[in-house]
Amino acid sequence: MSEIVCRVCAGPFDGAVQAWCPTCLATRWFETRNLIRAKHDPAVAPNTLDTYRSIITPRLKADLRETLEDAAARGSWFWDRDYGMWVHVTERPLGRAPGVGIPAGREDPDHALDCLFIAEADSTEEAHVFAADSQRHAAQIRAGVFEPLGACGQAGCENLRRPGATHCASHAREADLGPEGATEPAVRGR
């Protein structure tokens, strides 16, 4: 446990477990336009695509704020080398399967998906949710496609570095801080 006090909301969080203030992160996601895109929206189903797709559950959509709060508190950040973006991954937010998968050419889902993914999770413009499979994700971590956050660059600090930054929220340099000194990275990727 390494308590960090958020520069924005003054809420405390555990810097060894959470790279970003969970309260501010959940609010930021919740306020993102197009967080739920049509392709993954249960309101648009059923329709048939010629490619596989996942949709989130109507329950997740109804409980979106609570789901995002749970994800921000428990989930983990990864750098996705294939897509060159930050993703945030949470297994079974609120204890539930967040989505289902629909095979190509079919209208109906045929399997449940147990992870909530937030793609481009550090972006106030592009962040969007979808559901995926935890076993596949674990395999992608082993394969080096998904790179977990490392430790803070400050000697002796065991906190997680923030996405796109070299240091934790506590040791962030001024140059790493966004407008208003928010706990958000000014630079994307690495």
Supply the minimum distance, in Å, between the C-beta of residue 18 and Zn ion. Answer: 10
Options 16-24, 44-52, 86-94, 140-148: segment touching Zn ion (CB under 5 A): 16-24
Contact status: 68 vs Zn ion (CB under 5 A): no
Supply the minimum distance, in Å, between the C-beta of residue 131 and Zn ion. Answer: 26
Give me the 134-173 binding string for Zn ion, x by CB under 5 A, dash otherwise. Answer: ------------------x-x--x-x--------x-xx--
- In angstroms, the first-to-last Cα distance of the chain is 27
> How far is residue 53's CA from residue 104's CA, in Å, rounded to a whole number?
7
Indicate which single residue of 18, 19, 23, 127 sits in contact with Zn ion (rule: CB under 5 A): 23
Taking each helix axis as running N to C, give the angle between helix 22-30 and helix 64-74, from 0 to 180 degrees, rounded to the nearest 10: 140
Angle in degrees, CA 75, 95, 76, rounded to 5: 5
Do 4 and 168 meet the contact criterion of CB atoms below 8 Å apart? yes
Contact status: 24 vs Zn ion (CB under 5 A): yes
Closer by beta carbon to Zn ion, 23 or else 67 = 23
Sequence length of the chain is 190
| DSSP conformation class of 74 | H
Angle in degrees, CA 134, 139, 141, rounded to 5: 95
Contact status: 17 vs Zn ion (CB under 5 A): no
Contact status: 73 vs Zn ion (CB under 5 A): no
How many residues belong to the site for Zn ion (CB under 5 A)? 14
Contact status: 19 vs Zn ion (CB under 5 A): no
In this structure, what token pair is assigned to residue 130?
């979808």
Supply the minimum distance, in Å, between the C-beta of residue 12 and Zn ion. Answer: 9
Supply the minimum distance, in Å, between the C-beta of residue 55 and Zn ion. Answer: 31
